[in-house]
Structure 1
């Protein structure tokens, strides 16, 4: 029962984005198979929550130059048992940016992605089944860089390719610009 909200959101996402049905079905299957999908301890992979965090004007997205992955990405991280993945994504965005005044643009999933995390120290390679929500910064846009990042930057959404060639990042930019 703790997975029903996420499964419902994923089914709605599949209806709205039928061209992403293969990945959505894969993610749904993962959630259905693993009662502990929200736990980092699930070694094959786990659910993560991410934030496509835009400025007040909606023209820029806050990016992290991720310390472990050494790439410009959206904010986000492990659910760590939180089955309310929207809340988990919001918590991660606040922790990684230092911005307290954030609000969800919608409670619907903005994007999904499944990506392989390389083995590191005692952790085997595993998949992050990433559930992404769109948020807007409603207060000060002065961020603080956390220890999880090399840096943060407000990237211009229609020029996101200046920061990354990652297809899932560029897909989110296209979704945002075409909304």
Structure 2
């Protein structure tokens, strides 16, 4: 946790959302109980993968069953404090992709995400927060993709300019996915 705290302190926020969320995530890292596991029912650490193709004009997304929408890939730390390992595990589990390239090993984005109460595997999960760390990855779009049927019902490459049409989660499209596209463009000088 000390390394993550140090890394987050050095992280340069991209916008006001990241500035505010950085302050709160740092507080949770310093004072939170069991935030690396779901034992903390109020807030816990998660990771997300913003996966682009070589041309930077498509993003790999899954059709998330719980949220009934196209979304980025990711999941819970579940006790593993090596978030880069966690993000690679989640990408493989959710898409079947094993050959993944970090475009940077640095944290690419941070966000606090609200999760509405929902049913998962027959159990009610109360509303809570995800203290999320996003990593920027690249995958060859010719790689075979596979669905993880207990979590998603689709895995596909979505053109950047079609994300807003495919994802039904308006807040994510406006606040998170558009931010990530801008960050790719600014950081990599690419097409997105």
* Structure-1-length-normalised TM-score: 0.90
Identify the residue that residue 130 of structure 1 maps to in structure 2. 132
Determine helix, strand or coil for the equivalent of 1:46: strand
Q: State the number of aligned residues.
A: 176
TM-fit CA distance, 1:16: 4.9
TM-fit CA distance, 1:41: 1.4
Identify the residue that residue 95 of structure 1 maps to in structure 2. 93
TM-fit CA distance, 1:177: 2.0
TM-fit CA distance, 1:57: 2.6
Q: CA RMSD of the aligned region, Å? A: 1.7
Structure 1: 4+ residue segments shifted above 3 A? none
CA distance in 1, matches of 2:139, 2:32: 34
Identify the residue that residue 190 of structure 2 maps to in structure 1. none
Contact 1:66-1:150 at 8 Å conserved across structures:
yes
In the TM superposition, 1:106-117 aligns within 5 A as: 106-117=104-115
Name stretches of at least 5 consecutive residues in structure 2 with no aligned partner: 188-192
TM-fit CA distance, 1:119: 1.5
CA distance in 1, matches of 2:100, 2:73: 13
Contact 2:54-2:140 at 8 Å conserved across structures:
yes
Determine helix, strand or coil for the equivalent of 1:122: strand
Name stretches of at least 5 consecutive residues in structure 1 with no aligned partner: none
Summarize the Cα distance change of 1:40–1:118 in structure 2 as closer, same or farther, 3 Å threshold: same
* Structure-2-length-normalised TM-score: 0.84
Deviation digits for residues 102-150 of structure 1 (CA, Å, limit 9, x no counterpart): 0211111111111111122432111011110011114842211112112
Aligned: 1:160 with 2:160: no
TM-fit CA distance, 1:96: 0.5
Deviates more, 1:85-94 or 1:16-25: 16-25
Determine helix, strand or coil for the equivalent of 2:157: strand
